[in-house]
Structure 1
Amino acid sequence: MSLIGGTFVCLPRFSVAEALRLVAAERVTNLYLVPTLYHDLVHHADFGATDVSSVRKLGFAGASMTDGLLARLTEAFRPDLFVNHYGSSEVYTFTIDQDAPRKPGSAGRAGLNTMVRVVPFGARDPAATAEPGEEGEIAVIAGGDEAFEGYWRRPEADAKAFRDGWYFTGDTGYADADGDLFVTGRIDDMIITGGENVSPVEIESCLSLHPAVSEVAVVGLPDERWGKVVAAFIKRRGPVESADLDAYCRAAGLPSHKLPRSTVFVAEIPKSPVGKLLRRRLVSGDYEPEAASAFPSHTSVEALT
């Protein structure tokens, strides 16, 4: 911001109300947040009464953004530029999509001084590039100026991450026919149910578009028969039941093996201090169920329309 003669407005500790106040008071033109903080911003009670017309550019990184939140932000801000950055601490920026609403879910293409490819799961050779639409592990060239040299005194981590000059991120994704990258999650988060690989991000994006869903997180829970079953943890903003959400996912074309077999309504989705989703807490049962009186159990999706 100093280089271009701009002003950087920083909160010592993030507060949605204070962020909205500063946007209006400082006439902030650019916002750069993780998706969770954007969600909190547009769903805050003060948002509708806050003048955010100065904001013309949005950027996000740190996690995938659901289709529902992407649409909500586009409607709320009508930005001139909406950028998605995908990267890591190890190599900084991998890919950039400068028009995120154009193709929801896309992380775009390789940024300056880097190369990115999707390698089939289990492949040791980084040259074994996956076919368009084939999900695999995302690998990034490790020879650029922005790439790190390795993990401090962790040779076992280096051996796992580096293969013939490429850094294997541990992220899963695929490239479409246009060459745009789609990040589907972490290898550790992949749900293997009945021998099928299921990405939580795809299911979360589908459920996020339902008008009664405020937030959603999908994890795999242990199951004796299937190995793991798909479980959706939902924070509701309106009355909706599991059967309604199941019907909604089916109508959206979600395959049967990706449909949640368990739906849990929670008071909050657990997150880290910087707003990243903590799936492990959901798997371990460390969450607060929704209050029994939050929404009448007999209501359905029809009540919302």
Structure 2
Amino acid sequence: MFDLGRSFLATVERRPQALAVSDGAFRRTYAAWLEDIQSVARGLGNLGLDKGDRLLVVMQNRWQMATLHWACQFAGIVVTPINWRSTAQDVRYCLDNGDIRALAYDASGSEAVEACPEARALPRIVVDSTRHDSVTSFEALLGAPGETILRASPEDVSIMLYTSGTSGKPKGVPRTHRAERAAALAHVAQNLYRHDECTLGVMPMYHTMGVRSLLAMTLIDGHFVCVPKFDPLATLEAIEREGVTNLYLVPTLYHMLIEHPEFSSSRVASVDKIGFAGAAMSAGLMARVEKAFQPSLFVNHYGCSEIYTFTIDQRANRKPGSSGRASLNQRIRVVRVGAESPDEILPPGEEGEIIADLAGDEAFQGYWRRPDADTKAIKQGWYFTSDTGYFDADGDLFVTGRVDDLIITGGENVSPAEIENVLSVHPKVEEVVVAGLPDEQWGQVVAAFVKCREPISEEELGRHCVSAGLARFKRPRRYLFVEEIPKSAVGKVLRRVLLTERADQVQAN
């Protein structure tokens, strides 16, 4: 198998004048971008970085970040991107945990980096800086001629992603060139991408979705449109200006896009293929997205940083809530929650923990310096996801939540996703999140946090649940109307933040 550097060279040799990347007015063909990438790779060497060293990147989605990513692939350097919203404490943790040798950052990450003494002690590369101290300007790395650098092998580590760290410190996920390329190839195949595709590069490149979009476009001579951070209007303008043909976003961003007052189907007419991942898309939102885009392909990806794709449903709109079947490079099982063996398989219709075969081509092989996490998640060659779900009678997987999110009320297990799907289709409901609230009698009660389009009563929502056929024990006992649903930087709903805020309100009263 090719490493990623050779993959890029293959595209340059195949279609050197194809448009590779744009960032506003900035545009590069593959041939021209290769010159920039190689120059930056040589510049990293001049800063003392060798094959196997790690470069921390704290940057928004811009052409410089994409260029650094590819320069590392050629040089055999392990690119280690983290959230540009990180604090100085976050930067310090990753520097130490990841054995970082140098940093690259832009204005979005400058406050955190410059407030971290450990960061200031390392070689630093900064974008768009007027500083003249020990920091190297990214622009100074450009234009240096030399021989082509091509140092990595398929088994070398390409990237180390950090998980979101919802419990405890973030975990490093090292991924090889082989796994990254396999994931990108599968992404191309499962999304039916062709040559000359154009994708929106708005999902952050510290996240699996952003990285996969970048790599997939390069494999097919495609165009990667950088959008530094999501803004509905700027995103609409980029889609319209560049003729974006496919979108790969989290459901939240689709919601924000189609709800923007300046959205119209004519402005996104170039988009033919829709993909989403990162969270379930409610039935209500799915219907609105389908109407807005009328895509020829509507794909639900279910995966994670460790393995990328578990399952794919290329007709997600036919069966809302379904995550489809195992992807090209994977095998999936549902086992009893708390199982220690991958052989404790549950029958269709019975909810349990979803596990994936680590022999798959896209899979990682273990966390960075976290044997405790390996022991918890890896058992007999299978990865235990901590996600709950079940297979239906057709063999399609339904992901119902996290093991920790399962609501146990009166001894019954209730999955939030089922109730969210029911409530989401009510025309007065814009967004809804369901969670369990502590209750002395029932242990937990089902509560729905609702963001409304227009005022609605609890009684009306209750009648809606009854008419939808929701079992009595699954119907919300409490409705809490909120102005906003808290979300992470990549659009995932922060269920625990809602619960914490609710607990704080109770204590205050």
Give the alignment's TM-score, normalised by structure 2.
0.55
Q: Partners of 1:33 and 1:10 in 2: how far apart?
A: 14
Q: Partners of 1:76 and 1:100 in 2: how far apart?
A: 15
- Shift, 1:75, TM fit: 1.0
Residue 253, structure 1, aligned to residue 469, structure 2: yes
Residue in 2 aligned with 1:61? Answer: 277
Residue in 1 aligned with 2:397? Answer: 181
Unaligned runs of 5+ in 2: 1-216
Once the two structures are overlaid, the 10-residue window that deviates more, 147-156 or 164-173, is 147-156
Once the two structures are overlaid, the 10-residue window that deviates more, 114-123 or 229-238, is 114-123
Q: Partners of 1:239 and 1:287 in 2: how far apart?
A: 24
The 5 Å alignment of 1:115-194 reads 115-194=331-410
- Shift, 1:239, TM fit: 2.4
Q: Partners of 2:265 and 2:360 in 1: how far apart?
A: 46
Residue in 1 aligned with 2:239? Answer: 23
The 5 Å alignment of 1:1-305 reads 1-48=217-264, 51-285=267-501
Counterpart amino acid of residue 132 in structure 1: P
Residue in 2 aligned with 1:299? Answer: none
Please say if residues 266 and 287 of structure 1, whose CA atoms lie closer than 8 Å, have aligned partners that are also in contact: no
Counterpart amino acid of residue 44 in structure 1: H
Query: RCO greater where, 1 or 2, for CA within 8 Å and sep 6 or more?
Result: 1
SS in 1 for 2:236: helix
- Shift, 1:287, TM fit: 10
* Structure 1 residues 144-174: Cα deviation after superposition (integer angstroms, max 9, x where no partner): 2321121222222211111211110000000
Counterpart amino acid of residue 230 in structure 2: F
- Shift, 1:5, TM fit: 2.4
- Shift, 1:63, TM fit: 0.5
* Structure 1 residues 121-146: Cα deviation after superposition (integer angstroms, max 9, x where no partner): 22222112111111000000012232
- Shift, 1:2, TM fit: 2.3
Q: Partners of 2:462 and 2:434 in 1: how far apart?
A: 14
Q: Partners of 2:367 and 2:406 in 1: how far apart?
A: 24
Residue identity (%): 62
* Structure 1 residues 74-114: Cα deviation after superposition (integer angstroms, max 9, x where no partner): 11111000111111111111111111111111111111221
Q: Kindly tell me: are residues 65 and 288 of structure 1, through their superposed partners in 2, closer, same or farther at Cα, counting changes over 3 Å?
A: farther
SS in 1 for 2:288: helix
Q: Kindly tell me: are residues 246 and 286 of structure 1, through their superposed partners in 2, closer, same or farther at Cα, counting changes over 3 Å?
A: closer
Q: Partners of 1:216 and 1:174 in 2: how far apart?
A: 22
Instruction: Provide the alpha-carbon RMSD of the alignment.
Output: 1.6
SS in 2 for 1:8: strand
Unaligned runs of 5+ in 1: 290-305
Higher gyration radius (CA): 2
* Structure 1 residues 255-302: Cα deviation after superposition (integer angstroms, max 9, x where no partner): 11111111011110011111110011111116999xxxxxxxxxxxxx
Please say if residues 96 and 111 of structure 1, whose CA atoms lie closer than 8 Å, have aligned partners that are also in contact: yes
Q: Partners of 1:33 and 1:136 in 2: how far apart?
A: 27
Once the two structures are overlaid, the 10-residue window that deviates more, 121-130 or 12-21, is 121-130
Q: Kindly tell me: are residues 5 and 153 of structure 1, through their superposed partners in 2, closer, same or farther at Cα, counting changes over 3 Å?
A: closer
Please say if residues 236 and 263 of structure 2, whose CA atoms lie closer than 8 Å, have aligned partners that are also in contact: yes
SS in 1 for 2:295: coil
SS in 2 for 1:156: helix
Q: Partners of 2:300 and 2:481 in 1: how far apart?
A: 30
Q: Partners of 1:131 and 1:3 in 2: how far apart?
A: 39
- Shift, 1:25, TM fit: 1.4
- Shift, 1:28, TM fit: 1.2
SS in 1 for 2:223: coil
Residue in 2 aligned with 1:296? Answer: none
Give the alignment's TM-score, normalised by structure 1.
0.91
Q: Kindly tell me: are residues 213 and 287 of structure 1, through their superposed partners in 2, closer, same or farther at Cα, counting changes over 3 Å?
A: farther
Please say if residues 313 and 322 of structure 2, whose CA atoms lie closer than 8 Å, have aligned partners that are also in contact: yes
Q: Partners of 1:249 and 1:215 in 2: how far apart?
A: 16
Q: Partners of 2:440 and 2:469 in 1: how far apart?
A: 27
Q: Give the total of aligned pairs.
A: 289
SS in 1 for 2:225: coil
Counterpart amino acid of residue 261 in structure 1: R
